[in-house]
Amino acid sequence: MRRVRSMLIWCALATAIAVPISLAAASPLIAWRDPVYIAGGFAGVIAMGLIILQPLLAGGYLPGISTLGRRRMHRWIGALLVAVVVIHVAALWITSPPDVLDALLFASPTPFSAWGVIAMWAIFAAAILAALRRRLRLRWRTWRLAHVIFATVTVIGSVVHALLIEGTMETVSKTVLCALVIAATTKAFADLQVWSTRTKGGS
């Protein structure tokens, strides 16, 4: 029974990530588009798929992975997420530098741009904080609170950014993925009591 449950969890996760990517790949909006533009767009889609893995790993909801394995995967996926976001922005910059510059300066007329930039900086901040955790010598409670705040901003910014864009992602699958990201993050934060003021050790 436990094995069946594990298989169902992994199949559900794979479906939640693969379906939006597959439908985006079949979108008529990418026909005749420049390869760099397509790569940038798909980097954004993949980023949403990676984001949902982070709270699932942090909360220990994915079966068959040890605690140490979860922590390592969380770090590696965080690094991969940063790389994918860089590719996303760099590809869009190559395609249209003025639009990216306007977005970075919060001067773009499209609201989704601002949310994307906010999410981007939050992702970078969370990654830097994780990489420099020992060097900063922050108390566990302080470090965790800061990391959680950046993670929260990342999730909210990314979800709003994705939902406001009318692009290659199919609407229903995109909405479902965004809802799952919010649900997974909320459950993980609640179960881990991330806002607790109690001092707690960690690795």
Give the torsion sign (CA, 140, 77, 93, 152).
Answer: negative
Nearest CA among 198, 186, 150 for reference residue 61: 186
Q: Give the pLDDT confidence score for residue 163 in this predicted structure.
A: 95
- Going from N- to C-terminal start, the domains of the chain cover 33-192
Residue 59: phi, psi to the nearest 5? -85, -10
Quote the CA–CA distance of 179 and 99 in Å, as a whole number.
28
Q: Give the pLDDT confidence score for residue 2 in this predicted structure.
A: 81
Quote the CA–CA distance of 146 and 125 in Å, as a whole number.
9
Residue labelled with tokens 């939050």: 122
pLDDT 10s digit of each residue in the chain, 203 long?
788 889 999 999 999 999 999 999 888 888 778 889 889 889 999 999 999 999 999 999 999 999 999 999 999 999 999 999 999 999 999 999 999 999 999 999 989 999 999 999 999 999 999 888 888 888 888 888 999 999 999 999 999 999 999 888 999 999 999 999 999 999 999 998 877 655 444 43
Q: Give the pLDDT confidence score for residue 198 in this predicted structure.
A: 58
